Structures are given as C-alpha cells and as structure tokens.
Structure 1
Amino acid sequence: MPSVATPDPYADPLVFGQRMQILRERRGMSRVVLAGLLGRSPAWVKQVEKGQIQAPGVDTVLRIAQALRVRALSDLTGLPVHVDLFAGPGHPRLTAVRAAVDALPLTTDRQAPPVEHLRARLARAWSARHSSPHHREVVGSLLPDLIRDAQLAVRQAEQPADWRAAQAALSEVYSLAQFFVAYQPDAALLWRVAERSMVAAQQADDPHTVGIAAWLLAQAHRDSGPAHYDPADAVTREALAYLTPLLPDARDDVLAIAGALEFEAGYTAARRGETGAAWRHWDVAREMADRLPEAYFHPVTSFSRAIMGAHAVTVAVELHQGGESVRQAARADAATIPSRPRRARHRIEEARGFQLDGQPDVALATLAQAHEAAPETIRYNGYARSIILEESESRVAARRQRASDLAVKVGMLAA
C-alpha cells in the first residue's frame, strides 16, 4: 500500500524544488505567503517547486532559507557543504569559556570567594555587557574565573542557606555564559550552559533565578527550529504557572522576569504564524511592564516599559508583516533602550522589517546604526548577515557598494 506521508527532505535525494515545497508545507505556509516574502509571484514559487525552472541564484536561495526559517543551507539545497545561516564566527575567548564550563573541579586547595563577592562581580559583568559596544569581549574575559569561582562556592558551602545562595549565583553565571555563547558555532555548549543554569536555579529554589533560567532555556529551544517550539512553550508555561501566584506582591525583578516570559510566549507564537496569540501575549506583557517603575530596566532580560516598542517590532517581523513592522518601528524609540547590545538588536529587527517592506536601502542604513551601537551584536546575528549578503549582490550599484562596505565592517569580507 503506497504511503501518503510527506517525504523527509533530509532522508531522500530530493531536488531543490521538492525540498523547498516540503519545508514550506511543514511550516504551514502557502505559496502565496512565501511568494509575498520573496517579492515573487505564486506561479514562480510553483514553477520552482515543480522543477519547471532552474533553481534560483544564491541571493534568492538565502531569502528562501530565511523565509522558511531554515537554519542550514544544506537542508534546503541538499548539498553536502554545511552552512549554518544563523551561527556567527567563533569569538577568540570561546575556547577559554568552553574550558571553564567543561572543567570538573573536584579537588583544589583554593578557597571559594563569598557569595556576596560573586554577586558584586556578576552585577559589574551585567553592567559591562549593557554598556560596552564590544560586550562579548568584556563578558568573555570575565566568564572563566566567574564560572570556576561559582562552581567552587557551591562545593564549599557548608550551610543549606549558603548552598542555595551559591546555586543561585552559579545559575546566573551560566545565564551570562549563554549570552556569550549564543550564535556562536558550538550548539552543544549553549545547551550545556542553558540546562546547567536551570538545574542550579531549581536547587536554589529562588523564583527570580528560576525565571531567568526558564527564559533562556525557552529561547534555546525556540532558536533550535520548529521542532522545538512545543518544548519552548512548555518551559514558558511551566515557569509562568510557577511565578503567577507570586505576582500580586512580587518584587520588581520577579514581575519583570514574568513579563519577559509572557513576551517569550508571544515570540514563539509569532514564529508559528499565530497572529492573535502573539499579540495577546504582547498585550499581557505590556500590562506587566506598565506596573514597573518608569526607569526600571531588568539587568538580564532588558524587560521594561522602554523595551515594549522593540518587542512589538519583533512580533511583527516574526509574523512577516513588513508594513506593520515599519509602523511599529516608527512608534518605538530606540534611544530609550539603555543597553547597547539590546539597542543594536532592536535596530536589526527594524532592518528586517524594512527588508520585508521592500525598503532595502533603509534596511542597510538601519544595520549601520546597529553596528554603531554594538559591533559585536551585528557580527554574530544571522539575520543581519543574511540581509548584508543579499544586498551585496544587488543590481543597484550604490546599494551593492553600501552592503559591501558594511560587510567589511562586520567582518564578513576582507577589507
């Protein structure tokens, strides 16, 4: 009896058009929607999928990969060369951070620093991350010693309360490490720090620490692709169920992490294409943000009143709503975001919106603003690199030159 199951694009030697159709259908995306994202006609999409015309050029292939949320170009093309579209280059300090994470400090004569000392160093590290244009360099230089000292503090804690406090500090150190490792070519290391952060947070039994770990674990799942959207939602739901009873009398940091988790639920819904759910979660998160002091800014998640405009841009972009993305960008005020990397990330999301809206020159200008705010953010962002690479092959000479100049600044091309 013949099977009517959808073929597996990774198991069979399918041609480009077949892979494109299977991946499109797995995302629940119609030909009309994909055509709109690519600036093509539905008939053109059908012709490519049916093999009636040649496979498109590299610039269009990259746009298809972005629209279909394909992480590796080989998934779409079937070619044996692996190109991860969303993983950035390895930072020079990645090796040292990885060694500290992987170490097993069972024996040592060294005395662990007090937890209060670790907390002060963590506060300085978060502050440096938000204020430095080269935040990965700063954080990468601090992490190895922080990881070793926090691990040691857990091992040497003698009283239950001290042990839980040390676990909370260790969890936050791993959370800081996840920011450093994200978008670098070591997915296994990212998962190790995300999972260790959650384990330590549960041992600490501290709501704020658990919330941070859950927020980052949900992101790790979501950024791993559609197959991980359900686990991302499960982590977010469980964390919110845990925190919600505490919210009527919660401290600002607990309320903020709950708001950040609420937005994460909307972010994942937007990735699924669930417009109503995405904006409902954004509305709830905004209500939580409005309960915070006007100048409050969460040191880990950046959740605040000021960030909600940027979050609205992200929702619209993930829903592939170019016009709405541009409208939301006009309402958001990037200058009110005190964190340089988060401000740069917002600029990248704005650039994605302008690209979706058919304004590539504005998209490139916005990416230049992202580079000015935090060069290391744009360097490790796959969406930014994809836009730059696409426009570096533009038929418009001036646009091609601007994209090429930006590619040199970002480190994608040699000067």
Structure 2
Amino acid sequence: MHIGERIGAYRKRKRIPQETLAGLVGRSRSWLSQVERGIRGVDRLSTINNLAAALQVKPADLVGHDWKYAPNGSPEVAAVAAIRAHLASYGHLLARPSESPPWPLPQLRAATVEVHRSYQAAKYGATARVLPDLLRAADGYDGFAGQSSREIHLARCMAYAAASKLLTKMGESELAWITADRASHAAMAADSDVARGLAAYQIACALHRAEQSDEAEYVAVGAAEHLLPLAASDEPDLVSLAGSNLLLASVIAAQRADRSLATERLTRAEQLSQLLAQDANRAWTAFGPTNVQIHRASVAAELGDPRAVIQEATMVDADRLPKGLHSRRVQVHLDLAWAQTQAHNDTEAVFHLHLVNRQAPEVTRYNTIARETLRELLRRARRTTPALNTLATSAGVLA
C-alpha cells in the first residue's frame, strides 16, 4: 500500500469523512481524495505529522516503514562522529590540557570564513572534515579574557554557527541544537546583536529540524522582532538577520497551512530586502530580494500548491545571487522538481533534479525533498530511465 491508501484505510476505520480530515490538516477535500487515490504524494514531514495526529496513529503507520528513515532520513557523514566526539569531550570543563595550542586569532577568523563559504557552496563533506579541528581551535580560547576577547568570542560564535548549519543539513538535530546553543553563549559573551541574531537563527533551524516547530517559530519571530528596531538604522547585517528569521518563520507558518501569516511574513521580509536594494550575503544569510523570491516558491511548496510554485519560481533570476551560493541557487529547481512531480510531469521533474545534481551534487544526496521526490518518481515509474537511475544512485536512494 502507498501512503495514500494507508491514510484512506485509517480514515475509514475511524469513520472520519474526507472533508473533516482534510479540514483538520488545513487542506481541501479534493486534495485528500487525490492523495488517497495515489494521484498526489505526501512528501512534507509536517503534513504527515498532522495527518497522523488527526488519525491518532504514529507517522510510521502512514509511511509504512521505520520513521527514522522516512522522510527525513539522511545518509551518514563519517566526519560527524568526530564532531560529536569533540562536543562530548568537555576538556575545558575538566581542566584537561589542550591537544594543541590555540590558533592565532587571524587564522581562526580566516578558517571560519572558509568553512562558511564551503557550506554555502554545498560542499558538505569537505565542510564536515574541517569542522572538528576548527571547533577544537575555537575552544582553545574558551574562558579567554584578554584584550581581544570580543573578537575571539565572535570567531567562536561563527565557528559554532557553521557547525550547526551543517549538522542541521545532515539531520543531526540534537547536535545542531548543541552547537547553536554554544554559538549563542559566544554571542552573548561578545555582546553583539549581529552574533545574537545569527545564533538565534541557527537555534530556530535546529529546533525546526528536530520537529519542534512551535519552539522554532517562537525563537525566529522573537529574534526578528528584537532586530527590527535595530535594523531601522539600515545596518545591513542586522537587516539581513531580521529578514532571514522572518523567512524561516514564513516557512514554518506555511507548514502549518497558515497562508495569511506566511504571506505577511514574506511581505515584511521583502520590505527589509528593499532596504538593501541588492542581493548580498551579509552575516552569511544570503538575504536579499532574490532570496525572498526563492522563499515565496518554497512557501508555496509547503502549502502544497504546485501551480503557485511554478509561477513564483519562473520569476526568480538566480544569477543575481552572489557567487558561491550554490545551495540557494538550486533551491528553485528543488521546488520545481517537487511541483512537477505533483503534476505528474515526471520528465520535467527529472530535468530539474538533474540541474540540481549538476550544480550542487551534495544537495541531491543530503536534501530531504530531493531524496523523497526521487523515491516518488522511482515508485511510480513504469520503467526507469538512465537519467533517473543516475540521479537516484547519486542521491543514495539506489545502491
């Protein structure tokens, strides 16, 4: 049985009308009818959770296999174990001597810049390999109270923020939360609003990946509200961080099927992007008019509206983004692949996934939606094509 058949079976067993169940999850009766008949897929984690709650079953009962592998399972990255080991060592707390002397501050700062660039270029494996040494070097300064203490705390915040980004992407939500929390402590020690905004965003991302959406929304909205009065000074870093937190909050609202609130937050973010008047990457946010437009397509996808995804995505000019932002550039193609899959335009869906894989192959492997879209295309294909097989193998969906 596919997921739609399971949903229909549980609904009928509990004698819940289609219209009632659809209303409980913020969808239309026609949408639910198409899901139950296998015409549409359900690839959003939030939608599966909402359906399971309404039917009073476990998400795994609807998915049909162990929940840890669907749909948010990610392949393991070997270097994550080294990051985990460092986080669990607590050498500074136990007064153990450092394994190596701290890096000079200029070297530490330069390394944090490079690791953020590597992550945004979607080089996740390379980023993971660098992070254990970077975090050890950053923690070598733990408790430092010298003349350069503020700059050191800022560098530690940026190092742990980069670690949280990668761990969130890898599905390691608990480790992502720990590293984001350490970034927040460094931000407070540095007494920097920019660092606070960056740490808050990473905490919200980690909570969101851990399926604690209410808490994530609270943090993201709170951070945006705190930064908005400060952003009135047109400080580009603060503007970018306020806007980024609003964009994350808009996605969370869309996952809750709150279209009006998601739209309102997108509008506020767009107004902030107009203050910058250009696409930038201040505070490693990639925030600007183009990123807002990309999020409009993503919000439409979260709302389950493939037509709106296609309409919004066609208005995006990804070439306007700063160089190196490969993960942001391919997001449009990920959303279009999902939309075309929902419309059963499988050839077009494979085409967009091919563009993702060509520009940022590690996104294909580690992005939840890319992997689940490929599974859906494989499941209903009468015969697989070399292009689909190659993509699925690259993503680790096929051995």
Match of 2:271 among 265, 287, 290: 287
Instruction: Return the letter of the residue paired with 2:244.
Output: A
**Percent identical:** 22
In structure 2, what is the equivalent of residue 29 of structure 1? 25
**How much does 1:380 deviate?**
0.8
Note if 1:325 corresponds to 2:309: yes
Contact preservation (8 Å) 1:90, 1:185 = no
Distance 2:294 2:44 in 1: 24
**How much does 1:403 deviate?**
2.7
Q: Secondary structure at the match of 1:393?
A: helix
In structure 1, what is the equivalent of residue 173 of structure 2? 187
Instruction: Return the letter of the residue paired with 2:331.
Output: R
In structure 1, what is the equivalent of residue 354 of structure 2? 368
Instruction: Return the letter of the residue paired with 2:25.
Output: M
Note if 1:63 corresponds to 2:56: no
Gaps of 5+ in 2: 1-6, 53-57
Q: Give CA-to-partner distance per residue, 1:18-45, whole Å, 9 cap, x none.
A: 59989x9599326735x526735xxx57
Distance 1:200 1:26 in 2: 45
Match of 2:107 among 117, 122, 142: 117
Q: Give CA-to-partner distance per residue, 1:272-321, whole Å, 9 cap, x none.
A: 11111111111111111111152522352211223122111111111111
Distance 2:142 2:44 in 1: 44
Match of 2:69 among 38, 62, 83: 83
Between stretches 314-323 and 358-367, larger displacement belongs to 358-367
**How much does 1:103 deviate?**
2.2
Change beyond 3 A, Cα 1:37–1:382:
farther
Change beyond 3 A, Cα 1:139–1:387:
same
Distance 1:268 1:127 in 2: 26
Change beyond 3 A, Cα 1:80–1:113:
closer
**How much does 1:332 deviate?**
0.8
Gaps of 5+ in 1: 1-13, 46-55
Contact preservation (8 Å) 2:72, 2:171 = no
Distance 1:158 1:150 in 2: 14
Count of aligned pairs: 376
Q: Secondary structure at the match of 1:397?
A: coil
Match of 2:135 among 138, 143, 147: 147
**How much does 1:113 deviate?**
2.7
Change beyond 3 A, Cα 1:246–1:406:
same
Distance 1:266 1:127 in 2: 25
Change beyond 3 A, Cα 1:101–1:385:
same
Match of 1:17 among 2, 10, 16: 10
Contact preservation (8 Å) 2:180, 2:199 = yes
Contact preservation (8 Å) 1:167, 1:204 = yes
Distance 2:195 2:129 in 1: 23
Instruction: Return the letter of the residue paired with 2:145.
Output: E
Distance 2:330 2:32 in 1: 24
**How much does 1:256 deviate?**
0.7
Distance 2:142 2:69 in 1: 40
Contact preservation (8 Å) 1:326, 1:353 = yes
Change beyond 3 A, Cα 1:307–1:79:
closer
Q: Secondary structure at the match of 2:260?
A: helix
Instruction: Return the letter of the residue paired with 1:179.
Output: K
In structure 2, what is the equivalent of residue 355 of structure 1? 341
**How much does 1:263 deviate?**
1.3
**How much does 1:136 deviate?**
1.0
Match of 1:138 among 100, 113, 126: 126
Matches within 5 A, 1:32-43: 32-33=28-29, 35-36=30-31, 39-40=34-35
Q: Secondary structure at the match of 1:39?
A: helix
Contact preservation (8 Å) 2:224, 2:243 = no
Distance 1:210 1:188 in 2: 20
Match of 1:307 among 291, 294, 313: 291
In structure 2, what is the equivalent of residue 247 of structure 1? 231
Distance 1:111 1:19 in 2: 65
Q: Give CA-to-partner distance per residue, 1:145-175, whole Å, 9 cap, x none.
A: 11011111123x233x633332222221111
In structure 2, what is the equivalent of residue 7 of structure 1? none
Contact preservation (8 Å) 1:38, 1:63 = no
Instruction: Return the letter of the residue paired with 1:158.
Output: A
**How much does 1:328 deviate?**
0.5
Note if 1:386 corresponds to 2:372: yes
Q: Normalising by the residue count of structure 2, what TM-score does the alignment of the two structures yield?
A: 0.84
**How much does 1:326 deviate?**
0.5
Contact preservation (8 Å) 1:118, 1:169 = yes
**How much does 1:185 deviate?**
5.2
Change beyond 3 A, Cα 1:169–1:75:
farther
Contact preservation (8 Å) 1:90, 1:184 = yes
Note if 1:158 corresponds to 2:145: yes
Matches within 5 A, 1:179-258: 179-184=165-170, 186-225=172-211, 228-258=212-242
Q: Secondary structure at the match of 2:187?
A: helix
Between stretches 213-222 and 122-131, larger displacement belongs to 122-131
Change beyond 3 A, Cα 1:345–1:219:
same
Distance 1:183 1:295 in 2: 23
